[in-house]
Chain A
Amino acid sequence: MHAYLAYLAKRIGQFLLVVAIGINLAYAITHLTPIDPVEQSVAAVTSYGNAAPDAINQMRQSLRELYGLAGSPLQQYATFWGRVLHADFGPSLSAFPTPVSTLIWRALPWTIGLLVTSTLIAWACGNYLGGLASYYRKSRTLKAVGIVAMMLHPIPYYIVALILLILFGYVVPILPVGGGAAMNLERGFTFDYIGSVAAHSVLPVASLVLVGIGSWFLGMRSLASNIVTEDYVAYAELAGVERSRILQSYVMRNALMPQVTGLAMSLGAIFNGAVITEKVFGYPGIGTLLIDAVYAGDYSLVLGVATISIVAVSAGVLIIDLLYPLLDPRVEAV
C-alpha cells in the first residue's frame, strides 16, 4: 500500500508539473513575445481611417485589461494564474457576451466523446490484431492488415479526414459530413437525436481510428513477436494449452503494459488529431471552437481553449497512470 501511495504522489506531482509548465508556456507566448497584441488591434482599427485620439486611448486601455496586460509584470503574471485557476477567461469577443468558459464547457463533451470512443476502438482493435499477427505469422490476411496499417499510420489526421470527406461527402454521399447532429432535432435522450449524433460521428471517429490503429497494431506486433519466441510459450504449446488462451493470457497480456504507457504518452498527439478532424467535419467540439476563434480574432477564447486543452490532456494522462497499477499486478503487489 505504501508503494502505491508513493506511486500516486509521483504521478500527481508529474501532473502538476505538466500543468505548471504548460500554463507558463502559454503565459510566455502571450506576454513575452515582442509583438504587442493591443497595438496590433489598435493599428488594425486605425488603418481604416482617422479616429479620435480619446477613443483610441480608451480602446487601448480596455484592451490592455482584457489581454491581462495592465499593471506591472508581476501583477500580470498573478492575473494570468488567477484567470486559469478560476477557469474564467472573461467574455468571448466573437460570441459576446457569452463567457469563454461557457463556450468551452459546451464544446468539451463533444470532444471527450469523440476522443474516448475513437481511442478505445483504435487501441483495442489495433492491439488485438497486432497480437494475432505476431502469433499467426503465416496468415495472409494479417499480413495484408499489416501493410494497410503501415501505409495509413504515417499519414497526418488532416489528410485522412479530407480523403474520407471527399469519398463520403462528394463521391458516395451516404454519411453526414457536417456538425454534431441534425439541426432540426430537439436535444435530449430521444431515439432520433442519439441516432443522429451517432451518424454524424461515424466519419470523424473513422478517420481518427484509421490513423490511430496503425501505431497500436505495429507496436503490439513487434512487442508480441519477441514474446512468442520465449520458452514459456513453447512450453505451453507443448503442454497442450489452447492456442487462443496462449495468445490472450500468455502473449498479449505481457505486451499490454507497454501499450498502456504508450497510450498515456501519445494522448497529446491524439488530441492534436482530434482538433483538426473536428474542424474538417465541422464537429462542434474544442477543435472547431479553437480554430474558429483564431479566424474571429477572439483572444480570450483562443487562450482559454489552449490552457483548458493542456489541463484536460494532462488530466487524461493522469487517469491512465492511476489505472495502470490496476492492470499491472507487479505494481499492485509491492
Chain B
Amino acid sequence: MLAVLRDLVRHNPEFRIGLVLVLLVLTLAALSFASPYPELDVYVVPPDVPPSSAYWFGTTSRGQDVFWQVCTAIRHTLAFGLTVALVSRLISLGVGLLAGYKGGFVDRLLMSINDTFIVIPLFPVLVLFYFVLRDNMSWLALALIMSLLGWSYDARLIRSVAMSVKTREFTQTSVFSGMTTREILLREHLPYVLPIVFSTTLANMNWSIGLEVTLSVLGFTDINTPSIGGMIYWANQHTALVAGIWWWIAFPVIVVVMAFIGLFLLSVSLNEFIDPRSRLARMGQATS
C-alpha cells in the first residue's frame, strides 16, 4: 500500500497535484473545528469588510467571517459527498458483483435496471423530491436519496471487472469446494474490484458534490447546514456581486474548485494505475 503511494507520487504528476489539492482542502475542513464562531450565528463580525489581515477572506453582508464559513462549509460538503459515495458503493458493489458473476438472465435484468438509472435525468427528479419534502429535506435525506439514485454508472464498471474475475480458475475452485455465492463474491471477488471501487468513490464524490452545490445554490436543500452551495445562495440573496462583495463568492468557488480538481486527478491517476497498459506506457515515457 505504501509502496503504491510512493510510486504514484514519484511517477505520476497528476496524482501529486491531486494529492496536494485534496490535502489543502482537507486541512481547511479540519481547521473548521477551531472556528471561533458558532457556524450558524450571524453578525458576529463587522459586515462587508474586504479581505484584510484581520479577516483573511473578508466578511459577508450577514456579518460572518468568510474564512471560517468556507472551512465549515467545505467540511459539510465533503462529508456529504463521502456519505453518498459510501452508501451508493454498497448498492453498486452488490449489483455489479452479482450481475458479473451470475451472468445470463440475472445479468440482463440487473443491467437493464442499471441502464435505466443511467439515463434518467436526476436533476428534475431531485427537484421534484425537494418540492414535495420542502423543509423535511434534511442533509441526511438528500444524501440517502442521491445514494439510491447514483450507483448505476459505477455498478457497470464493477460488473466488467467481476466478469473477468469470474473466468479465472480460482472461481471454479471455490465453486467446487462448496462455497456459496455470497462467500465467493465477498471473499474471492471483492478484493479484485476494490481498486476500482476506490477510484469510483472519488469520482462519485465529485458527482454528488456537484449536484449538491447546484441544488443548494438554488436554495433547494437544507439551508441550515452551511455548505459551499449554501454560501453562494446567501451571497446571491444579498446580490453580493452587484454590491461588489466579490470575496463572498470568489473564495467558496475557489475552494470547491480545488476540491473538484483534486478529487478528479486522484481518481484519474488511480484508474490509470489500475490499468497496467497505461501504467507501462507511463513508465516507458519516464525512462526514455
Q: Show the binding face of A for B, using Cβ within 8 Å.
A: 14, 17-18, 21-22, 25-26, 29-30, 33, 35, 37, 40, 150-151, 153-159, 162-163, 166, 170, 218, 222, 225-226, 229, 264-265, 267-269, 271-272, 275-276, 279, 290-291, 294, 299, 302-303, 305-306, 309-310, 313-314, 317
Contacts and interface: CB of A to CB of B under 8 A. Distances in A.
A37 B134 CA distance: 10
B206 A268 contact: no
Contact of A279 (B121, B128, B218): B218
Contact of A153 (B117, B153, B264): B264
Interface residues of B, number: 48
A47 B119 CA distance: 41
A213 to B, nearest CB: 15
B130 A294 contact: yes
Interface of B: 14, 112-113, 115-125, 127-134, 136, 153, 206, 209-211, 213-214, 217-218, 220, 232, 241, 249, 253, 256-257, 260-261, 263-265, 268, 277-278, 281
A192 to B, nearest CB: 29
Scoring B14, B124, B129, B211 by chain A CB atoms within 10 A of each residue's CB, the highest score goes to B124
A268 B112 contact: no
8 contacts: A18-B115, A22-B125, A29-B132, A151-B261, A159-B257, A162-B253, A268-B118, A291-B218
Contacts of A154: 206, 260-261, 263-264
B128 A272 contact: no
Given A162-B253, A276-B123, A14 B132 contact: no
B119 A18 contact: yes
Given A150-B265, A159-B213, A159-B253, A35 B132 contact: yes
Given A294-B127, A306-B125, A158 B214 contact: yes
Contacts of B263: 154
Contacts of B218: 276, 279, 291, 294
B53 to A, nearest CB: 26
A30 B116 CA distance: 20
